[in-house]
Structure 1
Amino acid sequence: MRAVRVVGYHQDLRMDEVPKPEITGPHDVIVKIGGAGVCRTDIHILEGQWAAKAQVSLPYTIGHENAGWVDAVGSAVTNVAEGDTVILHPLITCGFCRACRSGDDVHCERSQFPGIDTAGGYAEYMKTSARSVVKIDGSLHPADVAALADAGLTAYHAVAKAARRLRPGDRCVVIGAGGLGHIGIQVLEALSPAELIVLDRNPEAVKLALSIGADHGIVADGSEAGQVMELTGGRGAEQVIDFVGEGGSSSQGLAMTRRAGDYHIVGYGEHIDVPAIDLISTEVNIIGNLVGSYNDLVELMALAAAQKVRLHTAKYPLDRFQDALDDLAAGNVRGRAILLP
């Protein structure tokens, strides 16, 4: 089968012919990929940012946002069958450790992360586990929802945390209305009564945000913190969700956070530098967010089936993987880029 692989850091990806994965364990599931999301993390992988953490042997197949159709199952698999349409939770988890038994499987002690530390979905087929497949509504096509497996799941995880603390009359700021942000906006619209303020450097992204649920849209030009303070009566927002995490967004985000409020960091790329006394005196919380749990993905797909969350996509044939990455790096993708094997 065809597979797009990392052959070296600071090098372009390469398409190779590799063996199709096979069932080797009772809980294995082979999925025919119908759509693979292109994520900024894939760019960070090629930059070598994940090399020490993942410690993966090169070459390997990249791609961690995947959906498709079940092609084969192991002898003990009962939750899906051949032909079922599925979306894949990005982690393969053990089911036995304390985190898994608590429903916090994203922190599984023995997890694998296809596309990060084992073979992923920039390919025609991918091997995963019965614990990682979510059967989805027949109205949903894999290519239209694939990026919900990570971008959507990460956005949902952060937004659900924030939504639990939001009350009518509160304000929530979303920094970044791109691939993750435009999903987070829709989830906030579905889960929260708060007034929603969205910031992005791109005026077109701000327009998109307003069309899918934002109450206020601000073009980030350096004056955004002041504009947010004006909209919030000088107090700041109760919840700030930063889907950017670079280019100074963390300092701006903290400046927009109300006393005793929460600043959620989702995107990454820069260091957060804040005097400890500022956190102590304001009781502002900085909250990190990784990808969501299996149950988070089930809930997100319920919203997708109800058409409360729709993924804006730009689709590319698998052999145009480099175009997709280049467009993403250049900021030319509205929503998420999806590869079609």
Structure 2
Amino acid sequence: MRAVRVTGYHQPLRLDEVPEPVVTGPHDVLVEVGGAGVCRTDLHILEGQWAAKSGVALPYTIGHENAGWVTAVGSAVTNVTEGDKVIMHPLVTCGLCRACRDGDDVHCETSRFPGIDTDGGYAEILKTSARSVVRLDDRLEPADVAALADAGLTAYHAVAKAARRLRAGDRVVMIGAGGLGHIGIQVMAALSPAEIIVVDRNPDAVKLAVGVGARHGVVASGGQVDEVLQLTGGHGAEVVIDFVGEGGSTAEGLRMTRRAGDYHVVGYGENIDVPTIDLISAEINIIGNLVGSYNDLAALMALAAQGRVTLHTAKYALDDFQQAIDDLTAGRVRGRAILVP
């Protein structure tokens, strides 16, 4: 089968012919990939940022946002059958450790991460586990929802966590309305009565944000902090969710957070530099967010089936993987880029 492989860091990806995966264990599930999201994490992989953390041996196939059709299952699989449309939770988990038994499978002690530390979905067939597949509603198609497996799931996890403290009359600032942000805005509008303020440097992204649920859109052109403070009566927002995490957004996000507020970090790339006395005196909480759980993904798919979360996509053939990478790098993708084998 064809697969897009990392053959070396700081080197271009390569389309190769590789053996198809086979069922070897009772809980294995093979999926014909119908869509694989192209994520900024893939760019960080190529830059070598994940090399030490993942410990993966090169070459390998990337792609961690995947959906498609089941083609084969192991002897103990009962939740899906051949032909089912599925989206894959990005982790393959054990189900036996304390985290898994608590429903917190994101922190599984022995998890594998296809596309990060083992072969992923920039390919025609992906091997995963029965614990990782969520059946799709008949109204959903794999290529339309694939990036919800990570970008959408990460956004859902952060927003659902933040929404638990928000009530009518509160305000939430969301920094970044791109691939994650435009999903997070829709989820926030579905889960919370809070007034949504979105900040992005791209006027088209701000326009999209207002169209999918934001009350206010702020173009980041230098005065965005002051504009947000004006919109919040000078106090800042009860919650700030930063989908960028670099380029100065962390300092700005903290300045937009009101006293006793929560600043959620989702995007990454820079350090947070804040005097501890400022945290203590304002009692601000800084909260990290990883990808969501299997149950989070199932809930997100329910919102998608109801039409309350729609993924904006740009689709590319597998052969055009480099164009997708180049477009993402250059900021030409509105929403999420999807490879369709």
TM bracket (short chain): over 0.9
Q: Distance in 1 between matches of 2:153 and 2:67?
A: 13
- The 2-side partners of 1:72 and 1:103 are apart by 26
- Displacement, 1:16? 0.4
Shift of 1:60: 0.2
Amino acid at match of 1:68: G
TM-score (norm 2): 1.00
For 1:227, the equivalent position in structure 2 comes to 227
Within 5 A, what are the aligned runs for 1:7-46? 7-46=7-46
* CA-to-aligned-CA distance 1:128-186 (integer Å, 9 cap, x gap): 00000000101100000000000000000000011001010000000000000000000
TM-score, with length taken from structure 1: 1.00
Q: CA deviation at 1:222?
A: 1.6
Aligned-partner Cα distance in 1 for 2:135–2:150? 16
Q: Residue 49 of structure 2 corresponds to which residue in structure 1?
A: 49
> Which residue matches 1:258?
258
The alpha-carbon deviation at position 81 of structure 1 amounts to 0.2
Following superposition, the deviation at residue 114 of structure 1 comes to: 0.1
Q: State yes or no: 1:141 paired with 2:127.
A: no
Report SS of the residue matched to 1:70: strand
State the secondary structure of the residue aligned to 2:117. Answer: coil
Match of 2:273 in 1: 273
Superposed, 1:143-182 pairs within 5 Å as 143-182=143-182
Q: What's the counterpart of residue 312 of structure 2?
A: 312
Q: Distance in 1 between matches of 2:326 and 2:262?
A: 34
Partner Cα distance (1:181, 1:325) in 2: 19
- Output the amino acid matched with 1:50: W
Q: Map residues 1-341 of structure 1 onto 2, 5 A cutoff.
A: 1-341=1-341
**What fraction of aligned residue pairs are identical, expressed as a percent?**
78
RMSD of equivalent CA atoms: 0.3
Counterpart CA distance in 2 for 1:225 and 1:107 is 35
Letter of the aligned partner of 2:159 in structure 1? V
Q: How far off is 1:221 after superposition?
A: 1.0
CA distance in 1, matches of 2:169, 2:23: 53
How many residues are paired up? 341
Counterpart of 2:204, as a letter, is E
User: Separation in 2 of the partners of 1:321 and 1:272?
Assistant: 34
